[in-house]
Amino acid sequence: MARAKRAAGQVNQTKALKNQVLEYAKDYEVQMIAGGNQSVSIAFIQDANAFREKLIQSSIEMDGQIQGLSRASEDTLKTATQARMRTRGLTKLVDKMKLEARKKKAKAELNLFEDNYAARASANSGTKDA
């Protein structure tokens, strides 16, 4: 289960990083537009646009990583859940076997008690001087 939580944490971390990269790309876009309105040099606008494009491209590449991590997280969670179910099943089986053993022991004690009682009750029956 700890592995599944770690894998889910990695997925969330990567998604957060992707969102942060996209926010940076938006900031550069805003700077480009503001620079265009304030007569900033073309070189600055081109550099800002190129960097923005690289940020967008890296966020697109992160999608593949996120999908891979998501699949790994789901597989890990599935494996952990199966292991937990097997453990629960084995625990139930052991508990059932213990219960059956207690029932057999209780029944054997009851039978022994009944046999002893029957023997005492019938000890004086029969022919003494026959």
Q: Taking a C-beta distance cutoff of 8 angstroms, is the pair 14, 87 a contact?
A: no
How far is it between the farthest Cα atoms of the chain?
135
What are the pLDDT digits (tens) for 16-66? 998 999 898 888 888 888 877 777 788 888 888 888 899 889 988 888 888
Q: Model pTM?
A: 0.55
Q: Is pLDDT above 60 for 100?
A: yes
Mean pLDDT score across all residues of the chain: 84
Q: What are phi and psi of 86, to 5 degrees?
A: -60, -40
Percent residues over pLDDT 70 in the chain: 93
The predicted pLDDT at position 106 comes to 92
Q: Which has the higher per-residue pLDDT, 102 or 65?
A: 102
Q: Is pLDDT above 90 for 99?
A: yes
Q: Taking a C-beta distance cutoff of 8 angstroms, is the pair 49, 111 a contact?
A: no
The predicted pLDDT at position 69 comes to 85
CA angle, 8 then 6 then 18, to 5°:
50
- The gap from C-alpha 40 to its chain's centroid, in whole angstroms, comes to 53
